[in-house]
Structure 1
Amino acid sequence: MKNNTLRDRLTAIFSDKVLLFKIAITIFHLVGVMGMSLPVLRPYFQLLTPFHLLLSTMLLFVFHKEWNKAFIGFMIISFTIGYGSEVMGVHTGFPFGNYSYGTVLGFQLFEVPLLIGVNWLLLVYLTGGILKNKIKNDYLAAIVASLIMVVLDYLIEPVAVKLDFWTWENDVIPLSNFIGWFGVAFIIHLIYRKLDFEKHNPLSFYLLINLTIFFILLNILL
């Protein structure tokens, strides 16, 4: 009887794709924390950073329900605005401040890794999705979601600098970075809210929590 109960529970777990992906995401991030925090493994895990970001994005979008023109448009717009702002930032100092990218994040175009555009897309999708049914006013939702992104960036910045993702002039993260992040995020979030596509994703909140814990732990351990 007990064996049947255990078998039934295991069957239920493995038939629940969302639960399986949540387990995979948790394991993925825990392994990442351990690898990045151990000096002997860190160089190898730094090389895996692009894979980490791309896999997280792919796992998330597996559960996106509506791949219509509006959603594809959002992906293109989010990538373009986010990436374009980074190119402008690297070459002019506006809107984030003076900084430059290292080689860890992979192939670069105009001295900015293409992966950074994916990062903007991922973070806007995650933070926008968790607020979709909670705040009805588009402007207020864009403000709150952008503030969440600023908090997340506050956690990311020290880790990114230590792992040579990018470096700041005089090794100081300026206030303009966070103001710039808010401004760019707000623009993309407004567009996100106006476009008509299904915004609920069962993995959004879970992945956002995992990313937050991931960077909190690395801030402590590095």
Structure 2
Amino acid sequence: MHERSIITNVSIWLLWIILTVLMVGGVASVGFMEEKPENTNWAAPTMLVIAAILVLIYFGIRSSAGLLIGGFIGFLSELVGVSTGYPYGSYQYTEVLGLSIGNVPIVLFAAWIIVLSLVCMILKLLGADTKVSIILAPILLVLLDLAIEPVATGSLGAWYWTEEIKGYYGVPISNFGGWLLVGFVAYLPVQFVYGKYTVAGIFPGASIFCFFVAINLLDTQWIGAIAGISSLSIAIASLAYSKKNCLVRLRSK
């Protein structure tokens, strides 16, 4: 049992090291290289998969089940979105995120798990009840997407919009309405299929958004950077709030 624990901890550290190297490499390629290095399309999907694996490890079996269901709902919404233009608007994915099903990169499943996990951890650490969580979750997801879109459609080139009416860095406003709707539905299983949590579950998602903030800053996409910094600030505040409450409970015993 002890040996298994050691192996698990070593595996987690290795995953974190690889994730960090990929994120630093991604930021460096945008900030210090005139052209994107060749044959690096594997990097972005690998980064997302590793972050999602870390999330599932930290969340445990029961809580991971809710994330997997929510991630699947999010992925289905992408399939519908690419083929019909609803509910996000008209867009298409490029080859940057790797293998696809129905013109939607498979790694989007991992991406949805990551954003749902970050929102879930923020709300759990803040002690939000079910009603508040269901209301706030879609709003927080939209805030996260405000940081994602400028990078994904810009430096990363993961997808592009074909809408004639574009508002936010070339992104149609309908996209954020879609995120509110899908975010609400996708978060329901995360909220209700949930077990015990470990605080470490917030870090994979937060790390990915450090990456998005850095790219937004390098590309002088200030609104995207502010959205990302706001998201990370809320995450830090939730950690501080949780720690404070824990200390209060310990002192009261």
Fold match (TM-score > 0.5): yes
Structure 1 residue aligned with 2:192: 194
Deviation for aligned residue 1:155: 1.2
Deviation for aligned residue 1:39: 3.1
Structure 2 residue aligned with 1:159: 151
1:44–1:148 distance in 2 versus 1, CA, 3 Å: farther
| Distance in structure 2 (CA, Å) of the matches to 1:134 and 1:90 | 35
Residue 165 of structure 1 aligns with an amino acid whose one-letter code is: A
Residues 17-70 of structure 1, C-alpha deviations (whole Å, 9 max, x = no match): 7x9579735554233211343234444444311111111112233333x314x6
1:196–1:55 distance in 2 versus 1, CA, 3 Å: closer
Structure 1 residue 77 corresponds to structure 2 residue 69: yes
Alpha-carbon contact 1:100-1:167 (below 8 Å) kept: yes
| Distance in structure 2 (CA, Å) of the matches to 1:192 and 1:137 | 13
Alpha-carbon contact 1:35-1:42 (below 8 Å) kept: yes
Q: Counterparts of 1:30-179 in structure 2 under 5 Å?
A: 30-37=24-31, 38-64=33-59, 66-68=60-62, 71-72=64-65, 74-162=66-154, 163-169=156-162, 170=164, 172-179=170-177
TM-score normalised by length of structure 2 = 0.70
1:39–1:46 distance in 2 versus 1, CA, 3 Å: farther
Segments of 5+ residues of structure 1 without an aligned counterpart are: 1-15
Alpha-carbon contact 1:123-1:149 (below 8 Å) kept: yes
| Distance in structure 2 (CA, Å) of the matches to 1:108 and 1:217 | 27
1:108–1:128 distance in 2 versus 1, CA, 3 Å: same
| Distance in structure 2 (CA, Å) of the matches to 1:32 and 1:135 | 35
1:79–1:213 distance in 2 versus 1, CA, 3 Å: closer
SS at match of 1:203: helix
Alpha-carbon contact 1:82-1:184 (below 8 Å) kept: yes
| Distance in structure 2 (CA, Å) of the matches to 1:20 and 1:196 | 25
Alpha-carbon contact 2:152-2:158 (below 8 Å) kept: yes
Q: Counterparts of 1:9-48 in structure 2 under 5 Å?
A: 24=17, 26-37=20-31, 38-48=33-43
| Distance in structure 1 (CA, Å) of the matches to 2:84 and 2:114 | 25
Residue 211 of structure 1 aligns with an amino acid whose one-letter code is: I
Query: What count of residue pairs does the alignment treat as equivalent?
Result: 203
Identity %: 27
Alpha-carbon contact 1:29-1:214 (below 8 Å) kept: yes
Alpha-carbon contact 2:58-2:201 (below 8 Å) kept: no
TM-score normalised by length of structure 1 = 0.79
SS at match of 2:199: coil
Return 25-34 or 141-150, whichever deviates more.
25-34
CA RMSD of aligned residues (A): 2.6
| Distance in structure 1 (CA, Å) of the matches to 2:206 and 2:128 | 23
Deviation for aligned residue 1:181: 0.8
